[in-house]
Amino acid sequence: MTAQIAIVAALARELHPLIKGWPKTVVEHEGRSFTFYQGKYAVVVCGGIGAEAARRAAEAAIVKCSPEIVISAGIAGALVPDLHVGETIFPTVVIDALDGSRQETAIKNAPVAKTPLGRAIMVSSPQIASRKDKQRLAKSYSAHAVDMEGAAVARAAMTHNLAFIAVKSISDEYDFELPPMSQFIRDGQFQQRRFVVHIALRPWMWLRTVRLARNTRTASENLCAWLRESALTNTIVLGSTSRL
């Protein structure tokens, strides 16, 4: 299996509008199974939530597909009031909140880098960021958005001397308080049934949960529309001329 572009995401539903209808292949790597969604020029692997899950998925995609570029794609939270639900950003720098390390992305070689959304700084957090966490991360790193996987994917790409970019769409604004979700993540997977039961017994969380689901759907649709039309053309990184 080969692909010019490897796209690494946390959950398949984040990229469902893009990968629906794509052939699926289960691939074994380092004792784990990964589902690869194969497009004409790209492969998508959804490894799970968090840095370790993202690292494993990125390594599997790199070893099995020999891509020229690795993309960390998915949803992110805004750390500044200028970013709104559904906006897609292309960070020029990704920071790991665990150790403060910074990785520049290859977006600087693309026309979109000249726009405000192409000059963003993103920080990857080891946990889902609450409103209080967002304030702290924004202050500590002068970052515009937060995710959980970008830094790990960037490190994997750097280890293999591959170009890396991050493409993220905003699902929650800087002042939005997320419902409690971290406790429902196990080995990179979100335990949705347990979460639904938890929320069902707490009516005061219903509105926030419904809003987040709606916002995440909007973010996913916008993210996939951008990936489908632009990410895999020569408008993203010089030298990349493929399309989905």
pLDDT in tens, 1-30: 777 899 999 999 999 999 998 999 999 998
For residues 177-184, average pLDDT: 84
- 218 pLDDT exceeds 80? yes
Whether 166 has a pLDDT exceeding 90, the answer reads yes
Q: pLDDT (tens digit, 9 = 90+) per residue, 46-66? A: 999 999 999 999 999 999 999
Looking at every residue in the chain, the average pLDDT score rounds to: 89
62-102, pLDDT tens digit by residue?
999 999 999 999 999 999 999 999 999 999 999 999 999 99
Which residue carries 């895999």 as its tokens?
Answer: 232
- The residue ranges of every structural domain in the chain are 5-231
The pTM for the full model equals 0.90
pLDDT for residue 185: 83
For residue 194, is pLDDT > 60?
yes
Fold of 5-231: Rossmann fold (3.40.50)
Q: Is the pLDDT of residue 215 over 70?
A: yes
- Residue pLDDT, tens place only, 134-145: 999 999 999 999
Position 169 pLDDT exceeds 50: yes
